[in-house]
Amino acid sequence: MKERKKFEVIKALSEIMEKFNIFRNILFTVVDIKLPKRGGYLKVYLSIFPEEKKSEFISYFQKIRSTIKNELKKQVFLRHLPSKISFYTSKEFEEAEKVFKILEKIKNEEKSK
């Protein structure tokens, strides 16, 4: 998928998900998408805060994925439409948080010496 089209799909998905979002106390970002050239599954990777709510958030959007797919069809032209949409949490945020905690621990150990 070309970068321009990918960005267009990410932007449209963000707007659609914001429209159908019933969780006002959860912040989310569409981080990345994966779509095979011939349709298949559209994989949507999300960054969700707070972490404790991510399974509830993902579960809700999995339930309304056909609605989201229909809205996406209206907003973005894709030659081969995905047969299904699946939502996943992005591991990047979690990994960055682990690195940050390790760096904080090292910093605190050096201060205590």
For 3-35, how does the pLDDT look when each residue is reduced to its tens digit (9 = 90+)?
A: 888 899 999 999 999 999 999 889 999 999 998
Q: What is the pLDDT of residue 93?
A: 64
DSSP code for 28: E
Which of the two residues, 49 and 59, has the higher pLDDT score? Answer: 59
What tens digit of pLDDT does each residue of 56-70 get?
Answer: 999 999 999 999 999
Evaluate if residue 101 carries a pLDDT over 90: no
In the chain, the domains with their CATH numbers are 3-112 (3.30.300.20)
Most confident range (mean pLDDT) of 6-15, 34-43, 91-100 is: 6-15
- In 64-76, which positions are buried (b, 16+ CB within 10 angstroms) versus exposed (e)? ebeebbebbeeeb
Q: What is the pLDDT of residue 98?
A: 76
Please, which residues have CB within 8 angstroms of residue 25's CB and are 6 or more apart in sequence?
Answer: 53
Evaluate if residue 81 carries a pLDDT over 80: no
What's the predicted TM-score (pTM) here?
0.76
